[in-house]
Each structure stands twice: as C-alpha cells, then as structure tokens.
Amino acid sequence: MPRTRVLAHTRVRAAVVAVAMTALLAPLAACSSNSSPGASSGAPDTKVPPNAVDRPVTVTVTPMGERVPAGEPVRVTAAGGRLTSVTVTDAEGHSLAGKVAADGRSWVSDRKAVPGAAYAVTAATRTESGTAKSTKAAFTTAPADKVNKVDWRPGAGSTVGIAQPISLVFDQPVRNRAEVEKQLKITTSNGTEGSWGWIRDWSGRDRVDWRPRTYWKPGTKVTLNADLNGTDSGAAGGWFVRDYTTAFTIGARQIVKVDLDSHQLTLVRDGETVRRIPVSGGTPGGDKRSWRGTAVLMAKEGTINMNSETVGLRDAYNRMVDHSMRLTWSGMYAHAAPWNARYFGNTNHSSGCIGMSDANAAWFYGQVRPGDPFEITGKDTKGVVAPGNGFGAWNLSWTEWQQKSALR
C-alpha cells in the first residue's frame, strides 16, 4: 500500500537550529497579547488590584534545551501572573495546538513534540498589575534512531464491502500498544460501533485491525486519522514520524455463501439471491482442504501465476489462472478452473481454492468487490480462517475481538 505523509515535521539541520536558538532565546520584550494558529487564550482578564506591584511573570517551558527526548507534550507554566496565549511552532510553521488552563497558570499542547524538530515558543502573559509581556524560548528534539512505518487498508477513496476491516501493519514491533491505539481515531457517518484488536499478521509483523460489531451498513462513510507522529513504538520498534489518514465508503450489502458440502456458491445482495454457481472446493482428507468460516475478499488480482510450491504443496500445480480473487494470505482464492469442469457442483477436487467455470468466474468477478464476506461451510475442511490470515477477524465473537484491544 502507498504511504502518505499528512502532518510530518521535517528534521532541522544543525546550522538552522543554531540560528533559530540564538534568535529565539532573546530577552523579555513587552508586547500586546495576540493569537495565531495553535494559540489559545482562555484566561479571563481580571481587574487590577489597588496598589498592585508590577512584579515580572516567570514563564517556564518544558522541555527545554537541545536534542531533548521527543514524545512528550509541551508544557508552559506562569508564576506571578497569567498566561493569555501560547504559540508553539516548528521550523516549517506547523503549530502545536493547546489550551490555557482556566486559572491562566498553565498550557499543555494537545500533540507531542516529534523527533528531529526545532520548536519556537511564544508565551503572552499579563502581570497582576495588568502589564502585558511576551516571553520567547526555543528547544530542539533528538532525531529518531529508528523509524516505524505503516501499511494500511483500505486505500483512500475506495468503496468496499460490508466486512472490510481497517487494518494497519507495522514495519517494526509495537510494544507500546495502548499508547499507539490511543492515537487511532475512527469516525463514521452513522456512529458505527467497533473495536481495535491486536493480532499477528501472516507476515509475522504486528498488526491492529478495527472491525465493526456486525457487518457495516451500506453507504457508511468512514475516516481513519492515525495521529502517530511523535509516538514511541517501544523497545526495538522506533518512532513514528508521520501521521496517516484514509477515508472510504461501504458499498452494497453483498454476502457470498459457499457450501462445500453441496458444492454451491451463492451471491446474495440485499437479502436476495442473485445467482447460484456450481463450484469445487479443496480435496478432502489432507493439506488440500479449503478453509471454513468467514473469509473476506482481499483483492481482485485478475490473471496470475499460481505455483503450489509457494504454499507448501510441492509440485501440485504451476499455471496461469484467470479471474483470481484472493481470500487469504495463505493462498486460498476463488477463480476460474476450467481444468476441473467435471467436478463443479458434485465433488471437492481442488488444491484448496474455490473453482468455477470460466463464464461463471468472469461474471462473478465483475459482481464482487474487496471487503465482501465469503461465508464458507463444509464438514471436511482444515479449520477456521485465522484473524491474521487475510481478514479473519469475523471468526471471533464480538467479546473475543474486544479483548484484543490494548485499551480493555
């Protein structure tokens, strides 16, 4: 999947940082209160007490210094007066938003300081006697020693089936799972209930999926905002140095029912049967059996080379296959299988895939979309599709799935 940078803070060369630090660590300068992106007032003006002494306001910024650790919010406090606004910006002009506390004594950024960035802080204050002043400060964060990247599905702007999860696979291990999960925000157009669950991807990498409690309602619009920039993955995982976002729409309510005992595939749309297709599934009694349970159409791959050696079946086959629709990472597909024509509708005699005629495969390929569920039944199968083998999360109960969240 493509990787998209949404709110990335660039690294700052040492020379630029030095200039910025010299310029920003200036003496206190009197100025009027102002606002800018990322600034927040929120501190009420108070009447000047009679006989008030105009003592200076002491402003403290945390963190402070050069190459300080990233991953913590910026905190600004005031003693001897009140903060009226705070602005924190990086070298590119991106702001860290925050809010001045009701008592005017503190401000905390909503986001964390990210690795390899230089920040300028401007704190507008008012003394007890009413004098407005401005304090400027600056600090830099240490660069990331290791970067963790993300692959995600589905892609932005896509229309997917009712069983499609949101799936993030990480390049590096994620040990701070709760902290990472807190940064993942799902917004839906109809308040769909769902949960994140941490699983092991078929590739062996850490992965977190979000699935609804039940299949999506058609027409639902979904947005993921993964505000990961500045989050530490934990031991051996490195830092996230960018945010990710994707938005997609749920298509028609389509369910593919595959009965391997009767050797029939049925496409059901909006509760109505569209077509029944005779098929042949995996040969009973060994490694060639098909999986059962709910598999989700991962991708429509068209004409591809299928080689049995890549899925541990030695030299059983090596051929070009048309209308290929991937159901698992372990190699189960629905596809055209004209060489198996005599078995369609009466016998399971494949190497694990769901085969059908060229004509039926061509028609079916044009009807389905990624995210459509295949509900597969049959007494002689090799087990239920695992959560990380494609999108097998639907084979867990809702309670079991919720327990896989790091925030439960």
* Per-residue pLDDT tens over the stretch 121-179: 999 999 988 999 999 999 999 999 999 999 999 999 999 999 999 999 999 999 999 99
Instruction: Read off the pLDDT of residues 207-263 as tens digits, 9 standing for 90 and up.
Output: 999 999 999 999 999 999 999 999 999 999 999 999 999 999 999 999 999 999 999
In angstroms, rounded to a whole number, what is the distance separating the alpha carbons of residues 162 and 372? 6
Worst-scoring range by mean pLDDT, 36-50, 75-89, 245-259? 36-50
Instruction: Read off the pLDDT of residues 362-390 as tens digits, 9 standing for 90 and up.
Output: 999 999 999 999 999 999 999 999 999 99
Among candidate residues 171, 8, 141, 177, the one with its CA nearest the CA of residue 65:
141
Confidence of residue 1 (pLDDT cuts 50, 70, 90): very low
Q: Is the pLDDT of residue 76 over 70?
A: yes
Q: Is the pLDDT of residue 290 over 50?
A: yes
pLDDT at site 24? 38
Q: Is the pLDDT of residue 196 over 60?
A: yes
pLDDT at site 400? 98
Q: Do 220 and 157 meet the contact criterion of CB atoms below 8 Å apart?
A: no
Mean pLDDT of 293-306: 95
Confidence of residue 2 (pLDDT cuts 50, 70, 90): very low
Backbone angles phi and psi of 45, in degrees to 5? -70, 145
In angstroms, rounded to a whole number, what is the distance separating the alpha carbons of residues 317 and 307? 6
pLDDT at site 343? 98
The single-letter code of the amino acid at 308 is S
pTM check: above 0.85: no
pLDDT at site 53? 63
User: Does 35 or 110 have the greater pLDDT score?
Assistant: 110
Confidence of residue 49 (pLDDT cuts 50, 70, 90): low
**Which domains occur in the chain, in start order?**
14-141 (2.60.40.3780), 150-250 (2.60.40.3710), 254-395 (2.40.440.10)
Instruction: Read off the pLDDT of residues 132-148 as tens digits, 9 standing for 90 and up.
Output: 999 999 999 999 999 99
Among candidate residues 135, 142, 15, the one with its CA nearest the CA of residue 78:
135
Mean pLDDT of 172-200: 98
Distances (CA, A) of 131 to 56, 100, 107, 206, 306: 9, 18, 20, 54, 77
Burial of 284 (0-12, 13-18, 19+ CB in 10 A): middle
Name 278's Cβ contacts closer than 8 Å, sequence gap at least 6.
Answer: 263, 264, 265, 344, 345, 346, 356, 357, 360
Mean pLDDT of 56-77: 97
In angstroms, rounded to a whole number, what is the distance separating the alpha carbons of residues 21 and 143? 17
Q: Is the pLDDT of residue 26 over 70?
A: no
Q: Which residue has the tokens 């903060």?
A: 83
pLDDT at site 8? 35
The secondary structure of the chain, three-state, reads CCCCCCCCCCCCCHHHHHHHHHHHCCCCECCCCCCCCCCCCCCCCCCCCCCCCCCCCEEEEECCEEEECCCCEEEEEEECEEEEEEEEEECCCCECCEEECCCCCEEEEEEECCCCCEEEEEEEEEECCCCEEEEEEEEEECCCCCECCEEEECCCCCEECCCCCEEEEECCCCCCHHHHHHCEEEEECCCCCEEEEEEECCCCCEEEEEEECCCCCCCCEEEEEECCCCCECCCCCCECCCCEEEEEEECCCEEEEEECCCCEEEEEECCEEEEEEECECECCCCCCCCCEEEEECCEEEEEEEEEHHHHCCCCCCEEEEEEEEECCCCCCEEEECHHHHHHCCCCCCECCCEEECHHHHHHHHHHCCCCCEEEEECCCCCCECCCCCCCCHHHCCHHHHHCCCCCC
Confidence of residue 55 (pLDDT cuts 50, 70, 90): confident
In angstroms, rounded to a whole number, what is the distance separating the alpha carbons of residues 218 and 197? 23
Q: Is the pLDDT of residue 42 over 70?
A: no
